[in-house]
Amino acid sequence: MIASDFTAIKPPKPFRGGIPICFPQFGTQGNLEQHGFARNRLWAIDDNPPPLPVNPAIKAFVDLILKPSEDDLKMWPHSFEFRLRIALGAGGDLSLTSRIRNTNTDGRPFSYTFAFHTYFSVSDISEVRVEGLETMDYLDNMKGKERFTEQGDAIVFESEVDKVYLAAPSKVAIIDHDMRRTFVVTKEGLPDAVVWNPWDKKAKAMQDFGDSEYKHMLCVEPAAVEKPITLKPGEEWKGRLGLSAVPSSYCSGQLDPLKVLHG
């Protein structure tokens, strides 16, 4: 993960880097602040979370919980419990499991959009390719959310990219040629995948982002954007993000077949 040198942890201001949690709104798709309020709140340790299935690959984890404050309820008048488990495997694999429950007592359902706004560190964005999203339909935020179909055999970066890939596969790979490293992103319960890099013009316009930092970052974000998730009172939704880094060989300008996508 990566964070901007120009950002700081000063709630309620957002932190640019790491894995911000976008809830209950992704982007500006609603009346709330951009990406919702969850990423700007202080979470509590969850001392007694409902059990999750035992995973022997997990070596350490922490459970967090977020409940709405009075100010949050004024902005978004719904009661919820948001539980988050952050887990590490022996090889450094990272997983985030989100569980959101509707705790409204007045019988009202609620709907929300969501994303794990994951910032990846890359050597040089012009040498990076994203595989696994070929032939997928996407909404292009640079063109008024117009819908297109991905035509290339991989996503490469030559200018600003801000796309929401719809019904994306459960595995996506970020291949960093210079680092000879591949990040594998897995997802459950999240149908979409957002791909974003601000490029030079937008980077210069962001106060919490260095003018040239776009060269060394990329966001690939498991998300639920096109179709909001709706929960009735008492219902719970679960979504999961998995991250791992594996070596990737690079020879004569071509990568070996990406076995991790098919294994």
| Given the residues 35, 78, 117, 131, the one annotated as active site | 117
Query: Is 161:152 a contact under the CB 8 Å cutoff?
Result: no
Assess whether 221 carries a catalytic annotation.
Answer: yes
Distances (CA, A) of 55 to 60, 91, 117, 201, 212: 11, 14, 24, 44, 40
Q: Is 16 within any annotated ligand binding site? A: yes
Please state the φ and ψ torsions of residue 221, each to the nearest 5 degrees: -125, 110
Tokens of 179: 């680092």
| Given the residues 35, 78, 131, 221, the one annotated as active site | 221
For residue 88, which of 222, 221, 248, 244 has the smallest C-alpha distance?
Answer: 244
Query: Is 1:18 a contact under the CB 8 Å cutoff?
Result: yes
Q: Is 39 within any annotated ligand binding site? A: yes
Q: Which helix (H) or strand (E) holds 70?
A: helix 70-75
Helix, strand or coil for residue 25?
coil
Q: Is 29 within any annotated ligand binding site? A: no
Assess whether 117 carries a catalytic annotation.
Answer: yes
Question: Which residues carry a binding-site annotation for substrate?
Answer: 16, 34, 39
Which positions are catalytic?
A: 117, 221
